[in-house]
Amino acid sequence: MRVILFDLDGTLIDSTEAILEGFRVTFEKFGKNYPGDKEVKKLIGLPLDIMFENLGVKENVWDFVMTYKKHYRKISKQKTFLLPFAKEALKEASTFARLGIVTTKTGEYSKELLEHFGILNYFEVLIGREDVENPKPHPEPILKALHKMKASKEAAWMIGDTCLDMVSAKEAGINYVGVKFEYENEKNMKRCAEIVKSDVLKAVEYIKGFYRY
């Protein structure tokens, strides 16, 4: 049976509001100037420590990360939303594939969100930031998910909204489909993925149709 691995932010959920608030609150708490929403958005998809470092935090980066996580957890359910067609995509995908999540978000918080939205039961495995040494774009998260699922690379696909997802899939040796979202500009996405769909349901339908010929 085929396997589809999904990214989370920008693919199935939109937690932009919660992420931006988390960064604003964290910079304010440490008395540092907030770099701005635009700069944060450019980095979404990367691990938190790398995001903070790229935003100018050179010392005590893990204090920033923990402060962010504490605030994010308090607001995430209220300020995160399922993307259009996400539930329909999972329902359709589950008819012909086994499903998993590969994200740079903390796995524990990701599970809480998926449970909140009533979609956790679709997934056999969830690989979060704490589950790997090398996050996307390294292939380790995808390879770990496939190992846990006892699935072959030949049967596997990745759906994600950033080049991090596409590079990770390519390096892991599996197929991949991109979806459009604001975290990655369209020009970059087309460089990273030959196939880019407007939403996750269309990506699932593409994978399903791929095997009809």
* Domains along the sequence of the chain with CATH: 2-14+80-210 (3.40.50.1000), 16-75 (1.10.150.240)
What does the alpha-carbon distance between residue 149 and residue 143 come to, in Å, rounded to a whole number?
10
6 within 8 A of 99, measured Cβ to Cβ: yes
188 within 8 A of 163, measured Cβ to Cβ: yes
pTM: 0.92
Per-residue pLDDT tens, the chain, 213 aa: give them. 899 999 999 999 999 999 999 999 999 999 999 999 999 999 998 999 999 999 999 999 999 999 999 999 999 999 999 999 999 999 999 999 999 999 999 999 899 999 999 999 999 999 999 999 999 999 999 999 999 999 999 999 999 999 999 999 999 999 999 999 988 888 888 899 999 999 999 999 999 998 764
Runs of H (alpha helix) within 76-199:
86-93, 107-116, 140-149, 163-172, 186-192
What does the alpha-carbon distance between residue 132 and residue 94 come to, in Å, rounded to a whole number?
26
